Chains A and B, each alone.
Chain A
Amino acid sequence: MKRARVEERTFIGLMRGAFVFVAVGLIMILLTVIVKGLPALTWDMITQTPKGGFYLGKEGGILNAIVGSLYLAGGGTLLALILSLPITLYLAAYARGPRQSRWVPIVRLALDVLWGVPSIVYGAFGFIVMLALGLRTSLLAGILVLTLLELPIMVRAMDEVIRTMPIELAEASYALGATRLETALNVIVRQALPGIVTAILLAFGRGIGDAASVLFTAGYTDRLPDSLLRPAASLPLAVFFQLGTAIPEVQQRAYASALILTAIVLMVSLGSRWLARRLSRNVVK
């Protein structure tokens, strides 16, 4: 009996320690970004594009990267949504039951693989497709690669929500004579709407924060993106490039850029919680 108590005490101590360690570490990340970024954050940073000598510490801002990132992640999220809704609904409404397609396990495995494919590999793949088609770095290429990156994230998040739905809900719909399509659109989508919104914003957050995939495909430019066929800047790369210089003022701006990026991601995350809570009022519990 004594040994059991000692073991229990030890593990409770270890757990408390681990918990404090994790909490402190995670809070420290946020604090580091705020403490380092806030002093360098100016109005110009978010309203100006880089002017001459910006990368030597002269004036300007990173509006190009902010707008570029919003376009890239927005476009990628929209295309990923158009593709992932039919996939999710197929898996939820058509792929259940005895007449399930032989493809379903393979599709699930492929989605798991794609979820785990590093973004740099998507970037490299996008790059060779661009080479094959004779395209150059552009906003469009960046959006397409982010679509690939976000698709498995979105499908997995939606699928997880739909799996928690009571099966009786769909069965009730079938019992009333509804077809699979009608059940998918009128019951499943409606019931899973809060989860779908969360999935969309989750994918958007991952898209806007990813640097490795857009490095190859979207390029970087000091101008605001004005065409799908021209390069576009992005926030993660703005952070990365500015941090890589030797000039202290520019490094300061990297911290400010990091703060802007973090603020956008946090706003999206909080917004999605709020939206999901509002929408879940229409959900059958």
Chain B
Amino acid sequence: MAAGRFSLRSLRDRAAGSLFLAATLLPVGLVIVMIIGLTLRAQPILAKYPLGELLTGETWKPLQGQFGFAPFIIGTVWVTVLAMIIAVPVCMLTAIYLSEYAGPHVRGLMKPLLDLLAGIPSVIYGIWGVIVIVPLINDVIEPVLKQTLGFIPLFNTNNPTGFSVLAGSMVLGLMVTPVITSVAYEVMQTVPHGLREASLAVGATQWQTVKFAVLRKSAPGLIAGVVLGFSRAFGETIAVLMVVGNVPQMPRSIFDAAYPLPALIANNYGEMMSIPLYDAALMGAALVLLVLVVAFNLLATVALRHAVRRAA
């Protein structure tokens, strides 16, 4: 730097640097404070029951002092994983189509639509779920699947409403579609043209080019896109809460009602101060969500590093 070490400009530069650094350390502090704060509030229940019992217990009866988190954790996993199973293949195919096959008109129309819809509030997706998806499941999907594949427990149920794991997953799946698709599309667009041309030049078909050149090159970015979608889906509260049924039970079929962790917290915050240990239990639920996010991000960082090395 040309400015002398003790000139006013240099001092100002370093002073601003310290100030900026202080702001930059804020996110780190926030993560730590959140973990400590939630742990402290969940302490009463952690002190009373062993952690393993809380996490694997299947009975949720706060009035009788029974706090088993398993139905909620399993509910969260079911809804999120099923949502990703629905969304990821569709998003990838759509992104490949947009990036490699579609004409400029389709692209020019679809990209802004995806951006707009990525910004639509989740409560709107929830409303759409209540109006469209729940009746669709109840009147069409469930009867048909039950008749044809009802011998598989996964498709059999006694739930008389459409409010179910599948409803939550479909709403979530569509909610994360714009996010995953537009990230995947953008990643594929950054693959250099020369790579495609080289592949076509040695006689590969367009699909082989996509499969062996484009997808392999963009794998790390695609993983990052799926991780983004997963993060959005996994903690979503309102949209899921509106369609998933909210029954504290272990779901056995995709048509059973479930009760994911975020819905549990949101539904019961009103009465949590009036039942002993209830507030500690709900803050414990928030802590579980937070710990899962941290673990998931650590995992994704490792996976990404691995994928980057392979794609290079």
Contacts and interface: CB of A to CB of B under 8 A. Distances in A.
Contact of B205 (A8, A36, A121): A8
Main secondary structure of the interface of B (DSSP, over half): helix
B117 interface: yes
A120 interface: yes
B208 to A, nearest CB: 6
A124 B286 contact: yes
Contacts of B94: 15, 18-19, 21-22
A246 interface: no
Contact of B266 (A114, A128, A180, A212): A212
Given A114-B30, A205-B119, A109 B286 contact: no
B97 A87 contact: no
A280 to B, nearest CB: 16
Interface in B79-120: 89-91, 93-94, 96-98, 101-102, 110, 112-117, 119-120
Contacts of B131: 32, 36
Interface residues of B, number: 85
A224 interface: no
Nearest to A180: B13
Contacts of B219: none
A9 B269 CA distance: 53
A33 B37 contact: no
A124 B266 CA distance: 9
A22 B137 CA distance: 18
A94 B20 contact: yes
Summarize A's interface: helix, strand, loop or mixed.
Answer: helix
A211 B123 contact: yes
B121 A236 contact: yes
Nearest to B92: A18
B12 interface: yes
B32 to A, nearest CB: 9
Interface residues of A, number: 91
Query: Among A19, A83, A216, A239, which residue has the most Cβ atoms of chain B within 10 A?
Result: A19
Contacts of A19: 93-94, 97-98, 102, 110
Interface in A94-150: 94-95, 101, 103, 106-107, 109-121, 123-125, 127-129, 131, 148
B286 A125 contact: yes
Contacts of A22: 90-91, 94, 177, 181
Contacts of A208: 121
Given A87-B20, A120-B286, A181-B13, A113 B205 contact: no
**Sorted from nearest, which 3 A-B pairs have the closest CB atoms?**
A118-B235, A209-B121, A177-B2
